[in-house]
Amino acid sequence: MPLLNQPVSLSHYLLVGAILFACGIVCMATKRNAIGVLMGVELVLNGAAVNFVAFSAPFLRGDAELALGLDGHLMTLFVIVLAAAEAAVALAIALCYYNTHATIDVDQGDELRG
């Protein structure tokens, strides 16, 4: 595989981001309990964050200028904050659901009650 014999470049980061994203999609599609689905969402968000950082780094793009390229880093910081808030709210919902139904199987959640 020629990608393994090269120095680390943009394509390596994009490959890692795509693998994380694909693993997250598969995890969200196949898991039946809420914790597994949340782990899939986190993997999808982390895959996107890796791509944001990879596209914003000037040494990975081949730019010789001294541009800071903080756009992707700021978006990644936003993704991390979003993931933390999503995890906190989703775990609170999962605990409430477990107290009501004594399971966290997402297929058994067919009624909505307030």
**pTM score:** 0.77
Q: Is 105 left (phi over 0), alpha (psi -120 to 50) or beta?
A: beta
Whether 1 is in a domain gets the answer: no
Q: What is the pLDDT of residue 16?
A: 93
Whether 56 is in a domain gets the answer: yes
Q: 105 - beta bridge partners?
A: 33
Residues 69-111: pLDDT tens digits? 677 888 889 999 999 998 899 888 888 888 887 777 777 766 6
State the total domains in the chain: 1
Q: What is the pLDDT of residue 43?
A: 94
Whether 20 is in a domain gets the answer: yes
Does 61 score more than 70 pLDDT? no
Residues 14-54: pLDDT tens digits? 999 999 999 999 999 998 888 888 899 999 999 999 998 88
For residue 72, give the CATH number of its domain.
1.10.287.3510
Whether 87 is in a domain gets the answer: yes
Whether 114 is in a domain gets the answer: no
- Domain range for 68: 9-108
Q: Is 62 left (phi over 0), alpha (psi -120 to 50) or beta?
A: left
Which has more pLDDT, 52 or 9? 52
Q: How far apart are CA 37 and CA 104, in angstroms?
A: 11
Q: How far apart are CA 18 and CA 12, in angstroms?
A: 10
Whether 72 is in a domain gets the answer: yes
